Amino acid sequence: MEILGATLRICVDDLDAAIPFYERLAGGRALRFERAGVQVAAVGCFLLMSGPEAEIEVLRRVAATIAVADVDEAHAVLTELGAEVVAGPVPTPVGRNLIARHPDGAVYEYVDRRPPR
């Protein structure tokens, strides 16, 4: 499994207020989208999220987002190593993802930019 990078997940109360800081910090423009009632802005290596507390509470349990070349391959490697895939793979606005709990209890999102099959 090829890991391409990681994104820091940050839950914020006011996405519009947070974006300018992170755009300046990362030196780029935010890519905004919505998923399951949560407003999201991807800025460099930061993923800002804001929305209903019930949804945000679930998102806070995920330590980071890990970019991989292929989510299906990640799924196979993770399960072989004893991780529990708790959600996915499912399509996203930019590819596919899955959520996995590692044997140590840490929870991560794995994403790729491959179109759904």
Q: Which domains does the chain have, with CATH numbers?
A: 3-112 (3.10.180.10)
Predicted local distance difference test score (pLDDT) of residue 78: 98
Predicted local distance difference test score (pLDDT) of residue 35: 80
Predicted local distance difference test score (pLDDT) of residue 117: 57
Q: Cβ distance 37 to 51 under 8 Å? A: yes
- Report angle CA 52, 108, 106 to the nearest 5 degrees: 105
Burial 55-65 (b: 16+ CB within 10 A, else e): bbeebeebeeb
3-state secondary structure (DSSP) of residue 45? coil
Residue 13 phi/psi, 5° resolution?
Answer: -75, -40
Residue 75 burial class via C-beta count within 10 angstroms: exposed 0-12, middle 13-18, buried 19 and up:
buried
- Strand pairing category for 64-68 and 46-50: unpaired
User: pLDDT digit of tens for each residue in the chain (117 aa)?
Assistant: 999 999 999 999 999 999 999 999 999 999 999 888 899 999 999 999 999 998 998 889 999 999 999 999 999 999 999 999 999 899 887 789 999 999 999 999 999 987 655
Predicted local distance difference test score (pLDDT) of residue 31: 92
Predicted local distance difference test score (pLDDT) of residue 84: 97
Q: Which residue has the tokens 């997940």?
A: 9
Residue 15 structure tokens: 């996405």
Predicted local distance difference test score (pLDDT) of residue 42: 93
